[in-house]
Amino acid sequence: MSLRVTTAGLFQQGVASMQTQSQALAKIQAQMATNMRYTRAGEDPVAAARALNVDKALADAAQWKSNIGSAQDHLNLEEGALSGATDALAKIRELAVQANSGTINDSDRKSIAQEMGERLKELMSQANARDGQGGYIFSGSRSQSQPFSKIGGGFSYQGDTMVSQLAIGSNRNIAMSDAGNDVFMSIGSGDGRLAVAASAGNQGAATVQTLGFNDSSQWDGGSYRISFSGGNYSVLDADSNVVSSGAYSDQQSIQFRGAAITLTGTPSDGDSFTVGPSQQQDVFTTVQNLINVVSAYGRTSAQTAQDQTTMYNALQSLDTAINHITDVRGGVGARLNVLDDATSQLEARTVQLKETLSGLREIDYTESAAQLSQTTTTLQAAQQSYLKIQNLSLFDYLR
């Protein structure tokens, strides 16, 4: 059976060919005009779906970068406040050591105490520092409440222990700040392990020179009292059991339960010192204790000896506070370094995602130009073929 080709069929075929090429040409021209491979998802469903996923990844990266910027701003402000607090504490320590000299008089001590009081106000100001939005840096989640205040003879914290976390990556968060309770309030007294105090009734001239461990593994965390009688010392535990004793010698180490204390000066019979584990104490109270010692005028020799021990323990507590705040500041610096690294990683990822998105959505101009030329040529050929077919007739052939 032969295939019958009609003139109408030839015409329809020619028109269909020209329409197909015209549509292809229009599509290429639209792509080159918009720089987009498709305008509807149906034109390339696979690429469109992948592009949506890349769009989401880019949006996530943009949000994480914004969070990083917010965290950097907040942490930089915290670092500045901690730096100011450390500077204030260093100056207070310098003043305390100056006041502890035996060469200054009560008038000098009064001036030093006044300056220490101003430094304490400066310390409080740094602890109550605000961020760029007016919130308090160290109030935890209660950013609109001033965290620290002096009430009566003590200091209180009105913030909470909650710290805001910001997402800086997939399943990756970072703390925007530190709670003020952890920074300024919960600090060990003494050297952070041991604390010492002279009994208020001491009449001798003995003061603490050093206190520490010679073998911390033997320490049981108890409280001990060192008493003196007849030129001898006895170390008693909380149940008044003697755990160590011997002849007292100036600047000779008294050792018990892995701890070692050295006294200088001669104690009177009945004098005693207490040694125990350090207790949590806020930095403001530590500074106030120093101010109280410096402000004590007209003291007897026995009271001066007691003040020396109080000064020793207060300076130890101050050093512990300075080290603690310095550690917190180091943690802030470490988080800032993490944010810098996260920023670099996000920037690199953003570049990769944009390149991927470009490959999914944008055209290759060189390839598109070649397709445009080819499609134009094909359309022109179809048009020429149609013209020739249109002009054909049997009479033209017989002529």
Among 3-12, 79-88, 152-161, 291-300, name the most confident range.
79-88
- Taking a C-beta distance cutoff of 8 angstroms, is the pair 104, 98 a contact? yes
- pLDDT > 60? residue 365: no
Tens digit of each residue's pLDDT (9 = 90 or more) over 283-306: 999 999 999 999 988 788 999 999
Q: What is the DSSP letter of 267?
A: P
Q: What is the pLDDT of residues 1-50, one digit of tens each?
A: 455 555 566 566 656 666 666 665 556 556 545 555 555 556 667 767 78
Q: Which of 19-33, 78-92, 344-358 has maximum average pLDDT? A: 78-92
Q: Using CA atoms, how far apart are residues 220 and 212, in angstroms rounded to an integer?
A: 14
* Exposed e or buried b per residue across 19-58, where buried means at least 16 C-beta atoms within 10 angstroms of its C-beta: eebeebbebbeebeeeeebbeeeeeeeeebebbeebeebb
Query: What value does the mean pLDDT of the chain take?
Result: 85
Query: Which of the four pLDDT bands, split at 50, 70 and 90, describes residue 54?
Result: confident
In the sheet that holds 194-198, the strands lie side by side as 194-198, 272-277, 224-229, 232-236, 242-247
Which pLDDT score is estimated for 191?
93
Out of 128-132, 298-302, 317-321, 352-356, least confident range: 352-356
State yes or no: pLDDT of 398 exceeds 60: no
Residue 364 has pLDDT above 60, yes or no: no
Q: What percent of the chain has pLDDT over 90?
A: 58
Position 351 scores a pLDDT of 86
Q: Quote the pLDDT of residue 263.
A: 97
Our measurement of the distance from residue 395's CA atom to the centroid of its chain's CA atoms, rounded to an integer in Å, reads 94
Write down the pLDDT at residue 281.
93
Confidence check: pLDDT of 262 > 80: yes
- Percent pLDDT > 70 in the chain is 77
- Quote the strand ranges of the chain, DSSP E: 148-151, 154-157, 165-169, 172-175, 187-188, 194-198, 207-213, 224-229, 232-236, 242-247, 253-256, 259-264, 272-277, 280-281
Rounded CA gap, 314 and 196, in Å? 10
- Asked whether residue 65 carries a pLDDT value surpassing 80, the answer given is yes
Average pLDDT over residues 204-210: 96
pTM: 0.79
Q: What is the dihedral of CA 326, 330, 331, 333, to 10 degrees?
A: 140
Q: What is the pLDDT of residue 368?
A: 53
* Number of residues assigned to the chain: 399
Lowest mean pLDDT, pick from 146-160, 215-229, 249-263: 146-160
The pLDDT assigned to 58 comes to: 86
